[in-house]
Amino acid sequence: MSERVLVNQLKSLPAGPVEVSGWVETVRDQKKVQFVVLRDETGAVQLVNPATRPSAPSTDSGTDPEQDAAALALTETIGGLATGTFLTVRGELKHDERVKLGGVEIKVGELVIAAAANPETPIAADSSPDKRMDYRFIDLRQRRNNLIFRVQTTLEHAMRTYWVERDYIEVHSPKLMASPSESNAELFEVPYFEDKTAYLAQSPQFFKQMAQVAGFGKIFEIAPAFRADPSFTSRHATEFTSIDAEISWIDSHEDVARMQEELLHTAFQAVADKHGAEIQELFGVEVQVPALPFPRIPLAAAREIVAARGYDIPRTDGDLDPEGERQIAAHVAETFGHQFVFITDYHPEIRAFYHMRDEETGLTKSYDLLFNGVEITTGAQREHRVDVLIEQAKEKGLDPEHLDFYLDFFRFGAPPHGGFGMGLARVLMLLLGESSIREVTYLFRGPTRLAP
Amino acid sequence: MSERVLVNQLKSLPAGPVEVSGWVETVRDQKKVQFVVLRDETGAVQLVNPATRPSAPSTDSGTDPEQDAAALALTETIGGLATGTFLTVRGELKHDERVKLGGVEIKVGELVIAAAANPETPIAADSSPDKRMDYRFIDLRQRRNNLIFRVQTTLEHAMRTYWVERDYIEVHSPKLMASPSESNAELFEVPYFEDKTAYLAQSPQFFKQMAQVAGFGKIFEIAPAFRADPSFTSRHATEFTSIDAEISWIDSHEDVARMQEELLHTAFQAVADKHGAEIQELFGVEVQVPALPFPRIPLAAAREIVAARGYDIPRTDGDLDPEGERQIAAHVAETFGHQFVFITDYHPEIRAFYHMRDEETGLTKSYDLLFNGVEITTGAQREHRVDVLIEQAKEKGLDPEHLDFYLDFFRFGAPPHGGFGMGLARVLMLLLGESSIREVTYLFRGPTRLAP
DSSP state letters, A83-97? TT-EEEEEEEEEE-T
Name the pairing type of β-strands A218-226 and B104-115. unpaired
Hey, which CATH number is domain A7-115, 2.40.50.140, 3.40.50.10800, 3.40.50.12160, 3.40.630.30? 2.40.50.140
Q: How many residues does chain B have?
A: 452
A449, closest residue in chain B (CA to CA): B178
Q: Given this model, what pLDDT does residue A56 score?
A: 53
Q: Which CATH architecture has domain B133-440?
A: 2-Layer Sandwich (3.30)
- Residue A432 backbone dihedrals phi, psi, to 5 degrees: -100, 5
Least Cα distance to B22 among A249, A32, A49 occurs for: A249
pLDDT at A31 exceeding the cut of 50? yes
- Across the interface, which of B189, B196, B385 has its CB nearest the CB of A191? B189
Is there a cis peptide before residue B293, judged by omega within 30 degrees of 0?
A: yes
pLDDT at B250 exceeding the cut of 70? yes
Q: Given this model, what pLDDT does residue A266 score?
A: 98
- Across the interface, which of B4, B117, B216 has its CB nearest the CB of A413? B117
Read off the pLDDT band of B1 (50, 70, 90).
very low
State the burial class of residue A407 (Cβ atoms within 10 Å of its Cβ: 0-12, 13-18, 19+): middle
pLDDT in tens, A299-308: 999 999 999 9
Contact A415 B207 (CB under 8 A): no
Q: Given this model, what pLDDT does residue A292 score?
A: 98
Read off the pLDDT band of B248 (50, 70, 90).
very high
Contact B115 A413 (CB under 8 A): yes
- Across the interface, which of A140, A215, A450 has its CB nearest the CB of B176? A450
State the burial class of residue A330 (Cβ atoms within 10 Å of its Cβ: 0-12, 13-18, 19+): middle
pLDDT at B13 exceeding the cut of 70? yes
Q: Given this model, what pLDDT does residue A61 score?
A: 56
pLDDT at A125 exceeding the cut of 90? no
A121, closest residue in chain B (CA to CA): B412
Least Cα distance to B204 among B264, B261, B245 occurs for: B245
Contact by Cβ (8 Å): B381, B418: yes
pLDDT at B63 exceeding the cut of 80? no
Q: How many Å apart are CA B105 and CA B100, to the nearest integer?
A: 10
Read off the pLDDT band of B66 (50, 70, 90).
confident
Q: How far off is chain B from A330, nearest CA to CA, in Å?
A: 32
Alpha carbon distance, N-terminus to C-terminus of chain B: 30
- Across the interface, which of A41, A213, A215 has its CB nearest the CB of B39? A215
pLDDT at B56 exceeding the cut of 60? no
Query: Is residue B425 a known part of a binding site?
Result: yes
A310 three-class SS: coil
For A223-235, what is the mean pLDDT?
94
- Across the interface, which of A141, A149, A413 has its CB nearest the CB of B85? A413
Residues of chain A with CATH 2.40.50.140: 7-115
pLDDT in tens, B162-191: 999 999 999 999 999 998 877 778 999 999
Judging contacts by C-beta atoms under 8 Å, the chain B residues touching residue A405 are: 451-452
Judging contacts by C-beta atoms under 8 Å, the chain B residues touching residue A224 are: 172, 174-175, 223-224
DSSP assignment, residue B276? H
Contact A216 B40 (CB under 8 A): no
Q: How many Å apart are CA A125 and CA A140, to the nearest integer?
A: 10
- Residue A32 backbone dihedrals phi, psi, to 5 degrees: -95, -25
Read off the pLDDT band of A265 (50, 70, 90).
very high
Gyration radius of chain B over CA positions: 28
- Across the interface, which of A115, A249, A386 has its CB nearest the CB of B410? A115
Spatial neighbors of B255 by CB under 8 A, at least 6 apart, are A1, B247, B418
Q: What is the mean pLDDT of chain B?
A: 95
H/E run at residue B21: strand B16-29
Q: How far off is chain A from B199, nearest CA to CA, in Å?
A: 9
Judging contacts by C-beta atoms under 8 Å, the chain B residues touching residue A253 are: none
B39, closest residue in chain A (CA to CA): A215
Judging contacts by C-beta atoms under 8 Å, the chain B residues touching residue A139 are: 214
Q: Given this model, what pLDDT does residue A65 score?
A: 73
Q: Which one of B1, B173, B412 would you mutate to disrupt binding with A, by most A Cβ within 10 Å of its Cβ?
A: B412
DSSP per-residue string spanning B85-124: -EEEEEEEEEE-TT-TTTTEEEEEEEEEEEEPBPSS-S--
pLDDT in tens, A83-101: 999 999 999 999 999 999 9
What strand order describes the sheet that includes B176-177?
B176-177, B197-200, B189-191
Q: Given this model, what pLDDT does residue B134 score?
A: 97
Contact by Cβ (8 Å): B380, B363: no
Residues forming a β-bridge with A371: A340, A374
Gyration radius of chain A over CA positions: 28
B151, closest residue in chain A (CA to CA): A169
Read off the pLDDT band of A185 (50, 70, 90).
confident
Contact B413 A82 (CB under 8 A): yes
State the burial class of residue B316 (Cβ atoms within 10 Å of its Cβ: 0-12, 13-18, 19+): exposed
Judging contacts by C-beta atoms under 8 Å, the chain B residues touching residue A149 are: 169-171, 216
A261 three-class SS: helix
Query: Is residue A182 a known part of a binding site?
Result: yes
For A292-298, what is the mean pLDDT?
98
Contact A177 B450 (CB under 8 A): yes
pLDDT at A239 exceeding the cut of 60? yes
Q: Which one of A1, A410, A449 would you mutate to disrupt binding with B, by most B Cβ within 10 Å of its Cβ?
A: A1
pLDDT at B374 exceeding the cut of 90? yes
Contact by Cβ (8 Å): B201, B173: yes
Residues of chain A with CATH 3.30.930.10: 133-440
Can you state the angle between helices B253-283 and B143-165, rounded to 10 degrees? 150
Least Cα distance to B104 among B184, B47, B34 occurs for: B47
Q: How many Å apart are CA B251 and CA A310, to the nearest integer?
A: 65
Contact by Cβ (8 Å): A36, A46: yes
pLDDT in tens, A317-326: 999 999 999 9
Spatial neighbors of A127 by CB under 8 A, at least 6 apart, are none
Contact B386 A115 (CB under 8 A): yes
Q: Given this model, what pLDDT does residue A1 score?
A: 47
Contact by Cβ (8 Å): B395, B380: no
Q: How far off is chain A from B250, nearest CA to CA, in Å?
A: 5
B150, closest residue in chain A (CA to CA): A169
Contact by Cβ (8 Å): B149, B429: no
Q: Given this model, what pLDDT does residue B62 score?
A: 59
Q: What is the mean pLDDT of chain A?
A: 95
Read off the pLDDT band of B54 (50, 70, 90).
confident
For A129-138, what is the mean pLDDT?
96
